[in-house]
Chains A and B, each alone.
Chain A
Amino acid sequence: MQRVAAYWRIWVMAQKGRMEYRFNFFMDILALFAGYVGLVANIWLMTNRFGPLAGWQFSEIAFLFGTFTASYGLAAYNFWQFTLIGGLLRSGDFDRYVLRPLKPVTYYAVERCQTPALGQVLGGLAIMLYCASILDLTWTPQKIAFVALMLIGAAAIQAGVMLLSAASAFWTMESGAAWGVLYYPLREFCFYPLGAFARPIVWIATAVIPFAFVNYFPAQYLLGKWDMLGFPSWVAFASFPVAAVFFAVCLWCFNRGLGQYHSTGT
């Protein structure tokens, strides 16, 4: 209980610090927003001229995009800073997270939380709701519960990927270079329906880095589509367990890395 109070206090302090730079705070949110508007606009331009993509119309693709973005924001809020851990390891600044009587993962996640990521959560949810209204989806209590679970699972998968990137830093001591370079192309696969891609990509997104469970499979239950690319239809409901296993594996990798961490001494 005392621990929870400590985390709470650290979190409040972090938020206050972040709000000191108000201009930058709003600028960051505006920039994130513009970036996502641009990405959605590109999808609209494509489908406007060429018609549905792999059988998916614009509002359905945008729903996938909204789901991805909202869950990314949820994950990024507490975990994005893990992708920068290489720099802290090299400079020795990470030592203070290891030396306090708190869990390093939780402490770092709370203390360095990324407030602008809330913009992504809100933006993603807004896109989802907008698409749902265009597509005339009826909201039932089950569906709302499903959305909540889907987003938590999706966020856990994305957070897992961030932890995995951080785990690799314990061995390479590299800064976040690998993260940006690999993550940004990989996430692009989630912006479009998986059916547009070749089979090996579909398999990788399902069985290796389970990005397909972030939005493609679960969103189909909400959209009533069932375009499962040969997988059984229950995969639409498998996001949560898949995410739990994936996140646990990633956390284990991170803790393995942390276990063999010894400061660079700088």
Chain B
Amino acid sequence: MIRVWLRFVKVALLARLAYRGDLVLSVLSGSLFLLVYLSVWRALYQNPAADRETVPYSAMALYVAGGTVLRSWLSSDPAFFIRKIRSGDIAGDLMKPYPLPLALLAQNVGNGVWRAATGGVPVLVFGVALVGVPLPRGTDVLWFLASAVIAGALYFCYTTMISLTAFWTLEMQGFHDLQWAIMAFASGTVVPLWFMPPVLAKVLRALPFQQMGFVPLTFWSGQAGQGAARLLLGQIVWFVPMAVLMALVWRAAQRRVLIQGG
């Protein structure tokens, strides 16, 4: 099973290699995002009334740069199921001897590794070399990698549930945009939970979204401190209900199958 799965990952990677032009574009795009947020935070920190105590600017610069790596790794394919439903391929796919979400997972891992390696890391190099982003400490990077893997698993469960709604709505774009909007705000990737009003931070800490943004980036920016192990454990604990929920939605979806044609 693992061997088959790894082959799926490899195919996803090779498919990516075919579009080398995209590579230049994605590095350019990531660098622009990095530049926007770095400039904005720098300007904010220059404010005389700014809050410099919670986290120093250097940690915030790390946080922003780590965000570009994390974003490139967390990949999804919102149209995965709707494509198969529309084309009718879903009928054949359901007969194959492996669960369809596993194929999606392999595809996402392949894409994520590729995007992190070709989009995330070069952007980071750009940030360090040209716009004064500091380098994270070695141990922080190790914590981050572990945390990012779990974040990837959570993100997979979350986005797959969303794309499975296509079995009911026979459409995707709206739900996809909505999940993207929720992530953009509630994951804390743009504004970390440190800077949110206490009540809001409390609410967001109780939700799974920050586990896919704020938590891994806390490691990367060296702010986990003594609580590192507990933070990581918190992520793992969230994985259980998310995975169960996804499995339930997948089972319900299989019963809903409707073949649109071919």
Query: Once the chains are docked, how many angstroms separate the CA of A38 from the CA of B187?
Result: 11
Q: Which residue in B175, B176, B181 is a CB contact (below 8 Å) of A38?
A: B181
Q: B50 within 8 Å of A by Cβ?
A: yes
Q: Is B25 a contact partner of A178 (Cβ separation < 8 A)?
A: yes
Contact B50 A53 (CB under 8 A): no
Which residues of A in the span 1-47 have a Cβ within 8 Å of any Cβ on B?
21, 23-24, 27-28, 30-32, 34-35, 37-39, 41-42, 45-47
Contact A34 B25 (CB under 8 A): no
Contact (Cβ within 8 A) A197 B39: yes
8 Å CB interface, A165-185 against B: 172, 174, 177-178, 181-182, 184-185
Of A27, A30, A38, A201, the residue contacting B184 (CB under 8 A) is A38
Contact with B along A50-80 (1 / 0, CB 8 A): 1111100000000000000000000000000
Q: Is the CB of A27 within 8 A of B49?
A: no
B174 touches A185 (CB 8 A): no
- Does B206 sit within 8 A of A, measured CB to CB? no
Q: Is A28 touching B49 in the complex (CB atoms < 8 A)? A: no
Decide yes or no whether A100 CB sits under 8 A from chain B. Answer: no
Tell me if B33 is interfacial: C-beta within 8 Å of chain A.
yes
How many interface contacts (CB-CB < 8 Å) are there between A and B?
115
Contact B174 A31 (CB under 8 A): yes
Q: How far is the CA of A38 from the CA of B258 in the complex (A)?
A: 35
B177 cross-chain contacts in A, Cβ below 8 A: 28, 31-32, 34-35
B interface size (C-beta, 8 A)? 40
Question: B89 at interface (Cβ–Cβ under 8 A)?
Answer: no
Asked if A185 and B169 sit within 8 Å, CB to CB, the answer is no
The interface residues of chain A lying within 8 Å CB-to-CB of B175 are 27, 31
State the CA gap A79–B42 with chains docked (Å). 35
Query: A136 CB to closest chain B CB, in angstroms?
Result: 23
B interface footprint on A127-162 (CB within 8 Å = 1, 0 otherwise): 000000000000000000000000000000000000
Residues on A with beta carbons closer than 8 Å to the beta carbon of B22:
177, 181
For chain B residues 1-57, which have a beta carbon within 8 Å of chain A?
21-22, 25-26, 28-30, 32-33, 35-36, 39-40, 42-45, 47-51
B171 within 8 A of A: yes
Q: How far is the CA of A252 from the CA of B233 in the complex (A)?
A: 58
Residue pairs across A and B with Cβ atoms less than 8 A apart, 30 shown, are A24-B171, A24-B173, A31-B173, A31-B176, A31-B177, A42-B185, A42-B191, A45-B191, A45-B195, A45-B196, A47-B44, A50-B44, A50-B45, A50-B49, A51-B48, A53-B44, A54-B43, A177-B22, A177-B25, A178-B25, A182-B28, A184-B29, A185-B32, A188-B36, A189-B36, A192-B39, A192-B40, A195-B43, A196-B40, A201-B39
Given contacts A31-B181, A182-B32, 13 further A-B contacts (CB under 8 A): A24-B169, A24-B173, A27-B169, A28-B173, A35-B177, A37-B185, A47-B44, A51-B48, A53-B47, A174-B21, A181-B26, A192-B39, A198-B39
